[in-house]
Structure 1
Amino acid sequence: MTLPPNAFKIALRERRPQIGLWVAMADAYAAEIAGHAGFDWLVIDGEHGPNDLRSILAQLQALQGSPSEPVVRLPVGETWMIKQALDIGARTLLIPMVDSAEQAEMLVRAVRYPPHGVRGMGSGIARASRFSTIPNYVAKASDDICLLIQAESRAAMADLERMAKVDGIDGVFIGPSDLAADMDFPGNIEAPEVQAAIEQGIATILRAGKPAGILTSHESLNRRYLDLGATFVAVGADVSEFSAALKRLRMKYKPDADTGETPTSGGY
């Protein structure tokens, strides 16, 4: 048995724009719907979405026949969490809160088998190898594993060039909401200072030879980032889109209902 190559990783390498969606409902049926909506990549969110290992597994299974590449965002970049996510079949990982090149190097080792890394040798009973039906899985695994790191603090932006140059990092994703908060602009990613840092960050990542990514729910900002050369751009979240669609339906019949809704910052 063989698996198709990671088309998302190939597209990043070739700098072909990839449009994505955050999948935070923690539900396999909802993920399957998103998988047939035509996005290039879908983030199964284990950091802020109510996901655990089994719900992530169910969504990976639901998306197996989808044209979209599932990207698993873990809560933190712990080696044991990375091992489990890879073993259940995740091929693309997004690791939040990476602040230094040294931390990025540790993450690269976590996704690789010895002697090049520290990933545990459990593929024989893992979904990743389709339960030992993929010949030479251990030798070939790193070819299709795509490792993305999130830069979302002033410390990360200060070390961004070194982080992006780490061999084995396939892309650097700027987290606008946490970056804005760390810059003393919580909930305001549109602040000129934050936008200047993001634009400079995209330029730094590209100059280091890696694809840059970002997420907002602002169409004008997303198009601006694409124009600046960002390759993988997520343009919204299933939870927000579902909620907005339901509100639009309700407004047709109860336009004066008090929902207590508050504006969001446009990032996740």
Structure 2
Amino acid sequence: MEYSEELVRELKRKAIQVRANILEMIPPGKVGHLGGSSSIADVMAALYFHMMRINRNDPKDPSRDRLIMSKGHAVLVQYACLAELGYFDRSELGKVKTFTGILQGHPDMDKTPGIEAVTGSLGQGLSVSLGVALGLRLDGSKSRVYAILGDGELAEGQIWEAAMAAAVYKASNLTAVIDWNGVQATSTTAETFPIENLVEKWKAFGWNVIEIDGHDMVQVLGALDAAKAYTQGPTAILAHTIKGKCFPFAEGKAKYHNAAMNEEEYKIAWQCIENMKREVEA
């Protein structure tokens, strides 16, 4: 499918703003999940600002598509998108992980408009997403469900139980996006808990599988459209990404899975945002 240059450029702008919002939430000295939030920012921008059916005036619109952050520790990227949608005042970005704010360290559907499930214990989000997808199908709804998974999270057995069930029930309204950045909390996934042949594994579990560069907006859009068009069962989008993408000091480093930036790093990060803006407009 062809995508207009303006659409691609606008979604790149949104991805930059999403990363800027992430920086607002974790100023120098504040610990936060920079790495895994920024790695999936391009996919999240494509979903929230183009692909998903969303009512900006009503986060509970029954006809909406649902997005569930199975890798709940990276919820900063979801908050960044929800802020752009206007689901809450931007002042909340400065109150992340405080008792006075509505944006907690992991997704809380009771506190935050636009959050569909409480996640954080890794491995559970795909099961929740499948349940939601099957419920929507029983209701005759055309709404879709998108589950965002981490690659380290795939070590959890519950993921594969849900994967089998989704194929058995031919949940074609379910798309799983795997943030395949190769780095988890303390090291690489290869060193910690290697899971070989991921593409073949998901295919063997009965899923339609699409492998992409998760930072190439055209590829992201193509994969999401292909997933929507596939009606024989669930789709897994295996998105090759870079942990800490766009912030050189953090890229590919386990240290920034969950860490605080110092003043110099924070300054560099904002300069990267400005550089990206100039590149997109060039």
- TM-score, normalising length from structure 2? 0.37
* Bigger relative CO (Cα 8 Å, ≥ 6 apart): 2
Structure with more helix by fraction: 2
- TM-score, normalising length from structure 1? 0.38
Larger radius of gyration: 1
